[in-house]
Structure 1
Amino acid sequence: MNAQILTSPQVPAQNSTPLLYKLLVVLGMVALMGGSLTGVMTYINIGYSETFLSDWFSSFLIAAVTVIPAGIFLMTLLTKAVEKILPNTSETKRNLVVGVSMAIIMESAMALTTTLNNVGFDSLGLFLSTWLHSFLAALPVALTLILIISMTVKPKIEQFLKS
């Protein structure tokens, strides 16, 4: 009796995307979102002056190391929660809910850190009014960016980051 040995054809190993590329994509998104929002907020807080770029950059760095990592974590939790709460809703509608929610959450936190960095907390009234003005001024920018990203880019980025 001849026994045949069956061998499966060699399946080429799937090449995963290098971690560096994934990191660069995430950093690009952080720079786009955080940079543009803290830029608008810094302008609303203090206007344009000789120190605008350094004031903006310090506000961006504070947001980049505090608000943005928390936002990435919150977005993951919110995405999973929305999937559980709205399981029969289309992915597009769920992305819209997550996007608008994240725009409001992230922008309010960035307005907080940017206003704290640029105005300080010496006067509660000044701080709160400046925070509100910067939040409201950047809201259209935040909603526009997050809606574009949530509806078009986010699914592709998630797929890219999983590769």
Structure 2
Amino acid sequence: MSKMLQKIAIIACLVMVMGGTLTFVMTWRNLGFGEGFMMAWLSSFALCVLCIAPIGGVISYLVHHLVDGALPNISKLKQDLVFGLIMALIMESIMAIVTTLNVHGLLALEAFIKQWSATLLTALPMGIVFSIVMSLVIKRRLAAFWAKV
């Protein structure tokens, strides 16, 4: 397998595990485990991947530079924690928008905000854990792995 394919495969696995889990929780929050759950979850997951995959790297790059620029005098560990928290909030917010729109369609603004915020708050704790583990553990290991590949 080529080096580029290895990198793509690793990122794809991370996106599938994290995105699949988070959209599963978000879809469950919106519908419960009734009829139609599986199709709603799969379509929400696919839509989130299509939305997040292209912009996730750009958002990560921008947030990283924002944190580095705004907090240059704190330790790398604290910078990584702040980075993880900001990334979780941004990415879960986008996923909650996509999932809410997918499951409920266009709602009146007040109803949409209510559904979106409930969706976001349900998945955010898990998203924070994923994001912190990603920024503190996985990101460093991937950087070391990619330096060898």
Distance in 1 separating the partners of 2:107 and 2:67: 39
Q: Match for 2:117: what amino acid?
A: L
Distance in 1 separating the partners of 2:90 and 2:59: 9
Q: Which residue of 1 aligns with 2:28?
A: 43
CA RMSD of aligned residues (A): 1.6
Query: Given the alignment, which residue of 61, 73, 98 partners 1:88?
Result: 73
Matched, 1:116 2:98: no
Distance in 1 separating the partners of 2:52 and 2:35: 26
Q: Which residue of 1 aligns with 2:86?
A: 101
Distance in 2 separating the partners of 1:23 and 1:40: 25
Q: Which residue of 2 aligns with 1:64?
A: 49
Q: Which residue of 2 aligns with 1:160?
A: 145
Give the Å deviation of 1:57.
Answer: 0.8
Give the Å deviation of 1:86.
Answer: 2.5
Compute the TM-score of the two structures, normalised by the length of structure 1.
0.83
Unaligned runs of 5+ in 1: 1-16
* Superposed CA offset, 1:46-94 (max 9, x none): 1112321111111011110112321221101211232233333222111
* Superposed CA offset, 1:22-65 (max 9, x none): 11110011112111111111011111123211111110111101
Larger radius of gyration: 1
Aligned partner of residue 50 in structure 1, secondary structure? coil
More helix by percentage: 2
Bigger shift: 86-95 or 131-140?
86-95
